[in-house]
Amino acid sequence: MRPLDLLLAVPSLLLLIVLATVAGPGIAVLIAIVAVITFPDVARVARAAALEIGARSALEAMRLQGESWWRTSVVYTGRSMARPLAADMGVRFTSSLYLVASASFLGVGVPPDAADWAVMVDRNRTGLFLQPWAVVVPALLVIALSVGLNLLFDRALRKGTT
């Protein structure tokens, strides 16, 4: 976990700008960069969830009964980790959306002619006082997507408990 802690110490926006400048433009490159930036956070959450599950007496009982590695590690632990990881996925999507929008706004993300909400906000901000809706609507769409997806994850998690 120490190399991941080192990666966490670097600000994500700075890391995004450096990696995007070195790697060049493109959607696939931007997706890979966001994956690299968010991987340490996901790894820490997954490790914490796995350590908590690994200390349970039910898992110890499964081991003592002679259950296979696949059944204890993948089936039981994986199923038990699904809820914390799904809850974290909504937050990660919001932070990834923020990173992609920031990269597009700074000009190191998607191409300037792409149909991207952050690019729309960037291109239309000069006419903010003439036509404010050209900036407000894409910004509200980014917010609505983020909030809507988090509500969807919450609903899916709540449905699993009833």
80 half-sphere exposure, CB direction, 13 A CA radius? 19
Average pLDDT over residues 96-117: 76
- 10's tokens: 């670097």
> What is the rounded CA–CA span in Å between residue 93 and residue 155?
16
> What is the rounded CA–CA span in Å between residue 56 and residue 50?
10
pLDDT at 26 over 80: no
Class of residue 12 by CB neighbours under 10 A (exposed 0-12, middle 13-18, buried 19+): buried
| Res 160: pLDDT | 57
pLDDT single digits (tens) 38-54: 999 999 999 999 889 88
Domain count, the chain: 1
pLDDT single digits (tens) 118-150: 777 777 778 888 888 888 888 888 889 888 888
For Cα atoms 14, 93, 89, give the angle at the middle one, nearest 5 degrees: 120
Query: What is the span of the domain harbouring residue 87?
Result: 2-161
84: CATH: 1.10.3720.10
| Res 156: pLDDT | 77
